[in-house]
Amino acid sequence: MQFTIAQTEEGSDSLGAPYLVYSIHLEGFLFCKLRYSQLHRWNEKLRRYFGSHLVPDFPPKNYLAQTESMAEERRLQLQQYLQKVGEDPAISVSEIFTTFLKKAQQETFKICARAILLEILLADGKKLLIDTHTSDSAERMLELAAQKVELSRQFLEHFALYLVCEYPTGGYSVLKKLNTFELPYVSLWSLQDENCRIMIRKSYSNPLEDKVLLGSSGGVTLLYSQATYELERGWTSPTQEQYQQLKTFQDAGKKREFLESIEKVKFHGYIQLEACTCDYPEPNCPAVVRMGNDEINCCVQLPSDHIKEVSFKVNRIRCWKVNLQIPIQEEMELKPELSFEYQDSRDSWRWITICTHQAFLLSTCIQDIIIGKLMKISEGCTEMQIENAVPECRAMPWNAQSTLSKHSGVVLQKTLSKKVKRTDGASVFEYIADEEL
């Protein structure tokens, strides 16, 4: 989970006493607004339940008036606290954690609990209409959507709900994967964008995992809807022979044969980002970026107009960060960037930057791939290896219960650097997700 607190706003209580409200973003989108006192009470509950030694330190109370620098320091400390709590595998699935955040999301946007009919899209544009409630979590809504397509509960872990934005000309852009505790209706409402939708998609990036779902009619339905969309929109790159074979199966309604055949197609199962730029091999190069199958694939247009295809393997990424420029003026746009330190030769490391408004999505995909590898290692899959592993791991009390940490040598460090004012009127916040492999 990638929490950031990029902004604060002033409020006052019934007696006129001032306080700060923290705007908490999750994966780059506003999730809720909370006061220090609310977070403090939540922390006390976590400490009583899990023990003080397993919960990260909480910023202490200030009994004097806060200066601007003190307020900035507290914002950074709260942001780091949320990161650490969200990364702990025991805390982040607990009822104390999820109930608090669901309530905070609902109260922030003042959404009353009521029965609704919610439309959930399949990847090919078909729609499911489910009976649900505004207070239902993404986990619950995923179960209801799965029932509609007759997907067995044993296969639910392979799918997730996503926020997507439809293009006026057709198609869509993936914005983010919803966490299980998020309230999809509230998340959708908070965007205030009539083009945004909730979609069910597969939640893994390795196309070889499709085989697990081919024996399920519901799994075939969902995989087929996504695969046909990706083929039609040019997200995949079949040869002419592969394309003809796929169209033959599609025209004949042979869904399983279609899915077995498309497994061999280049970029099958990848998420394709919207138009973006990359600074490799030269600055400001237009690029088509795809994420999947343990790699970031970039088709970069060079100044000479030649196209260079580059594959950045996730297991050669040492660390990454999302740089987010928060505009002071409302009419200015956010400019997120994802940068990662990459080993392009045995002893050479360099930073690669991709400028895209889907930077947080890209960051989440990287993290999901690494966690997936570590889960296989922890389950005894000894042939799995992560290159460039650092043998010395910095142990932290808050992740002492993490099975992955004990087996991987990976420590997630996410912080938000101090705000830096620029001459162009923007303030720059740097969000760092540090993966030491």
| Placement of tokens 């969000």 in the chain | 431
Partners of residue 174 on adjacent β-strands: 164
Long-range contacts of 211-215 (CB under 8 A, 24+ apart): 211/263, 212/155, 212/158, 213/155, 213/158, 214/256, 214/259, 214/260
Instruction: Indicate the SS3 state at residue 410.
Output: coil
Which class would CATH give 115-262?
Answer: alpha beta
Taking the alpha carbons at both ends of the chain, their separation in whole angstroms is: 19
Q: How far apart are CA 128 and CA 120, in angstroms?
A: 5
Least confident of 204-218, 251-265, 295-309, 415-429: 415-429
Contact 276, 362 (CB under 8 A): no
pLDDT-based confidence at residue 18 (cuts at 50, 70, 90): confident
Q: Maximum Cα–Cα distance for the chain, whole Å?
A: 74
pLDDT-based confidence at residue 430 (cuts at 50, 70, 90): very low
Provide CATH 2.30.29.30 ranges for the chain.
271-435
Q: How far apart are CA 98 and CA 394, in angstroms?
A: 28
CATH number given to 3-108: 3.30.1520.10
CA 223 to chain centroid, in Å, comes to 21
Global confidence as pTM: 0.82
Asked whether the predicted pLDDT for residue 250 surpasses 90, the reply is yes
Asked whether the predicted pLDDT for residue 399 surpasses 70, the reply is no
Amino acid identity at 163: L
Instruction: Indicate the SS3 state at residue 35.
Output: strand
What pLDDT sits at residue 411?
28
CATH of 271-435, one of 2.30.29.30, 3.30.70.20, 3.30.930.10, 2.40.270.10: 2.30.29.30
What pLDDT sits at residue 11?
79
Amino acid identity at 295: E
| Placement of tokens 């030649």 in the chain | 306
Strand 426-435 and strand 317-327: the pairing is antiparallel
pLDDT-based confidence at residue 63 (cuts at 50, 70, 90): low
What pLDDT sits at residue 403?
29
Provide CATH 3.30.1520.10 ranges for the chain.
3-108
What pLDDT sits at residue 434?
41
What pLDDT sits at residue 66?
72
Contact 236, 262 (CB under 8 A): yes
Provide CATH 3.10.20.90 ranges for the chain.
115-262
